[in-house]
Structure 1
Amino acid sequence: MKGLEGVRVALLEGRMTDELATLVRRHGGEPHCVPAVREQQSVSGEEEVAALLGVLVQESSPVVVLSTGVGVEALFQAAERLGRKSELLERLHRATLVCRGPKPHAALRKEGLEPSIRVKEPYTTEAIIEALAPLDLEGRCVVLLHYGERNLPLLQALAGRRARIQETLLYEWKLPEDLGPLQSLVQEIIERRVGAIAFTSQVQVRHLFQVASEQGRAEALISALRNDTVVAAVGPTCASALEASGVTPHVVPERPKMGAMIVSLARFISEAGASRESKA
């Protein structure tokens, strides 16, 4: 299927840019890569991991929620720099490991660990809460290895269950140091020079609209995305962020995967084109 033939598709993904661009080209599209997120490692990462180990050594059956593959990798890297990686592995072997999605699972497997509980698709906060539902958490230590920001709804849910919460945040989501490409993308979307845009995380949505707001062009961006640019979101969390910004995505795949998103986007554009031709 070449449903994206001739369509310029803006991609805001940062870590897997080449893979996503290849998928767009495979379907005949022209990828326009403008990463919207920079992952900045915490300067206190080793201190965070040392504090975490200090907690784990006192707990006989902690629950460890692993929200991100990047975070898992950063966790083991910091422990290795401290000379305490074997200690971390020993403690995690004794813990109930709750894994959100395939990326943290893959990072765990590299270290010889397997999750005790796998969060189900679409890997939302609600899915994490559902995965934790069978566990008795009152008074139990629950370690949250966050993604690039604190997950406040998950924290509130755990507090409501009277868990003892230990937070670990080893990297943060930041805007790119050079905002020029994002500013130019806002202009291109408003001028209808982008046929489609694909979002793979909620923070990409927030950053794009933050840049547009700082330019005084948020309303113009919303209008273009509503009326002239096909908008794809990789999953429901990303779609909710778009809706909160005033844009309902045209494409949200059944499975929250980049490949499924691009296939769905190509199908949507192909069917839209066929519909226009039949009416003509």
Structure 2
Amino acid sequence: MSGLQGKRVAVAADRRAEEIGTLIRNFGGEPVVYSIQGKMNLDETTSAANVQDLISGSFDWVILTTGIGARTLADSARRNELHEDFIDKLKRSRLAIRGKKTTDWMKEHNLEPERLAADGTMAELMHELEASPERGSVFLQAYNLDDAKWKSTLEEMGYDVYLSQPYSFEKPKAANLQELKMEIFDQSVEAVIFTSKTQVKNLFEDTEDQEMLTRQFNDQVLAVAVGKVTAKELADQRINEVLQPKNQKMGAMVVNLNQYFTQLSESY
């Protein structure tokens, strides 16, 4: 019998939530979707200005932190007939990146990073840049999550930072947040799947709920992360056990979740 048979699994994702739900059903589970990612807003005016400033400016490093951000800047460059200049500038720049999706975008354009976060985290990327003997100007592509933190970190190292924010996230619907919290508080779901650290931050943002949420995850509700960045954010919330796949993909994550509950039932 499938390990997920008859189990309710909450999905905090927005994008690909339907796909994750289908995988859960295939293993006999019941997905309940409470998207707490928040709506993504692309800022075309900012993107166009960022592209112009990158092409015309002089930067010692170009830091790309998300695949969405890199694509958004590239799309803006294309709309403004600057795509060739944009890619050429990146090819002539020292690039520092994090994340699989950023890496995939780079490969599409035959771009090679000089610095790459081995574990996919911003903390590791900052460590890589701190090890660089040169200090100078940095083009930092980020979004409205920890952007001030990483800008400040680079400035403390001695870098002059240009902050590029081609997109941002709105707060999620309050009803979605509250309903997911009630599922966790009541332990009416066996697990909660997170596909980004934004979702974790949104869930734990209300300080009054943090302790109770952590307690429930450390008791009966399993926290599931698609990858290392999301898993670290959960660990930062003092959650003792976070299930994550070695292969950071949605399908592998659900397979791992099914195996976890199968092994758990066999141990009884």
Q: Which TM-score applies when normalising by structure 2?
A: 0.84
Mark the CA change 1:99 to 1:16 in structure 2 (over 3 Å): closer, same or farther.
Answer: farther
Mark the CA change 1:162 to 1:224 in structure 2 (over 3 Å): closer, same or farther.
Answer: closer
Pair 1:124-2:108 in alignment:
no
Report the secondary structure of 1:38's partner residue.
Answer: coil
CA distance in 1, matches of 2:133, 2:267: 53
Q: 1:138 aligns with which of 102, 116, 135?
A: 135
Report the secondary structure of 2:213's partner residue.
Answer: helix
Mark the CA change 1:272 to 1:121 in structure 2 (over 3 Å): closer, same or farther.
Answer: farther
Tell me the amino acid that sits aligned with residue 253 of structure 2: M
Query: Does the CA-based 8 Å contact 1:99-1:119 persist in structure 2?
Result: yes
Structure 2 match to 1:63 = 61
Q: 1:139-158 counterparts in 2 under 5 A? A: 139=136, 141-158=137-154
Q: How large is the RMSD of aligned CA atoms in angstroms? A: 2.9
Q: Which TM-score applies when normalising by structure 1?
A: 0.81
Structure 1 match to 2:202 = 207
CA distance in 2, matches of 1:187, 1:254: 30
Alpha-carbon displacement from aligned partner over 1:151-176 (angstroms, at most 9, x marks no partner): 44543443244222211011112222
Query: Does the CA-based 8 Å contact 1:121-1:256 persist in structure 2?
Result: no
Mark the CA change 1:28 to 1:121 in structure 2 (over 3 Å): closer, same or farther.
Answer: farther
Q: 1:103 aligns with which of 101, 104, 108?
A: 101
Aligned residues: 268
Structure 1 match to 2:11 = 11
Mark the CA change 1:55 to 1:235 in structure 2 (over 3 Å): closer, same or farther.
Answer: closer
Alpha-carbon displacement from aligned partner over 1:63-83 (angstroms, at most 9, x marks no partner): 211111111121122223333
The offset of 1:117, in angstroms, is: 3.6
Structure 2 match to 1:275 = 267
Alpha-carbon displacement from aligned partner over 1:159-218 (angstroms, at most 9, x marks no partner): 244222211011112222x332332222222222211111222221121233xx48x655
Pair 1:263-2:258 in alignment:
no
Report the secondary structure of 1:122's partner residue.
Answer: coil
Pair 1:185-2:168 in alignment:
no
CA distance in 2, matches of 1:259, 1:250: 17
Percent identity, aligned pairs only?
Answer: 26
Tell me the amino acid that sits aligned with residue 61 of structure 2: V
Tell me the amino acid that sits aligned with residue 34 of structure 2: V
Structure 1 match to 2:53 = 54
Q: 1:82 aligns with which of 80, 83, 106?
A: 80
Structure 2 match to 1:223 = 215
Tell me the amino acid that sits aligned with residue 3 of structure 1: G
Query: Does the CA-based 8 Å contact 1:117-1:131 persist in structure 2?
Result: no
Tell me the amino acid that sits aligned with residue 146 of structure 1: A
Tell me the amino acid that sits aligned with residue 74 of structure 2: F
The offset of 1:245, in angstroms, is: 3.2
List alignment gaps of at least 5 residues for structure 1.
Answer: none
Report the secondary structure of 2:243's partner residue.
Answer: coil
Query: Does the CA-based 8 Å contact 1:12-1:204 persist in structure 2?
Result: yes
Tell me the amino acid that sits aligned with residue 181 of structure 1: N
Mark the CA change 1:79 to 1:152 in structure 2 (over 3 Å): closer, same or farther.
Answer: same
CA distance in 2, matches of 1:246, 1:150: 19
Query: Does the CA-based 8 Å contact 2:8-2:191 persist in structure 1?
Result: yes
Tell me the amino acid that sits aligned with residue 2 of structure 1: S
CA distance in 2, matches of 1:255, 1:118: 22
Alpha-carbon displacement from aligned partner over 1:105-148 (angstroms, at most 9, x marks no partner): 333444x3423246244301232134435644312x32111144
CA distance in 2, matches of 1:74, 1:51: 11
Q: 1:164 aligns with which of 156, 160, 163?
A: 160
